Amino acid sequence: MSPRPYRMGKRAESVARTRAAIREAARDEYAETGIDGASMQSIARRAGVAPGTVLYQYPDPDELAREVIQESTRVMKVPTAADVDADASLASRVRWLAHELFRVYAGTEREYQAWSRSRTHPVIAESDAWYARTYQEVLGAVLGPEHADPRAFQVASAVIDPGFRANLVARGMSDDEAADTAADLVIGWVELAS
């Protein structure tokens, strides 16, 4: 029934490209200024579009922030409790989690910057709540009932953490070395504690 399916497809494609460019520009902007400090003008400049285009595509700045944050969470495939191999040893479950999460952290450095600058922003708070629940569940499944005491949660979550990963990488470790080191720290601590 559409008289110009080809041209409509082209337009939809071009809109999708523009929206993706705006989201990518917003990621850079948030990393530098936080979500609160982000300016539509500056996002438009980074995306190479007119400020009016940003406002037309994303009239609500929180909606833009929400799409950006949700997209990166989806793309990064955060590991969940369902992914944990219950038959593996505690040590290999911990090692698996450290590698999975350090991969996520390496791919979300801009989001981590945005997070540390805008912890109280509602969109960050939403995503934080989701992440905290997911992390809690996957870590619970990794540690298993016999190691799931509150102190083990505190220790493992402080070590398998984006800031701690950045700290190891700044000291010259590769991502894999950093993940292995974090796993060794948690495993060594659990063995010492039990």
Contacting positions for a copy of itself (CB under 8 A): 151, 154-155, 157-159, 161, 163-164, 167-168, 171-173, 181, 184-185, 187-193
Q: In terms of CB distance, is 92 or 157 closer to a copy of itself?
A: 157
C-beta separation of 173 from 80 below 8 A: no
Tokens linked to 108? 């979300």
Question: In the bound complex, what is the minimum distance in angstroms from residue 89's beta carbon to a copy of itself?
Answer: 14
Question: In the bound complex, what is the minimum distance in angstroms from residue 146's beta carbon to a copy of itself?
Answer: 17
Q: In terms of CB distance, is 67 or 161 closer to a copy of itself?
A: 161
CA distances to 52, 87, 167 from 92, in Å: 52, 10, 23
Q: In terms of CB distance, is 39 or 154 closer to a copy of itself?
A: 154
Tokens linked to 48? 């190479």
2: left (phi over 0), alpha (psi -120 to 50) or beta: beta
Helix axes 61-76, 122-143, angle to 10 degrees: 20
Question: In the bound complex, what is the minimum distance in angstroms from residue 159's beta carbon to a copy of itself?
Answer: 7
Question: In the bound complex, what is the minimum distance in angstroms from residue 111's beta carbon to a copy of itself?
Answer: 18
Question: What is the CA angle 112-113-118, rounded to 5?
Answer: 95
Q: In terms of CB distance, is 5 or 172 closer to a copy of itself?
A: 172
Question: In the bound complex, what is the minimum distance in angstroms from residue 164's beta carbon to a copy of itself?
Answer: 6
Q: In terms of CB distance, is 21 or 185 closer to a copy of itself?
A: 185
Distance CA 128, CA 77 (A): 16
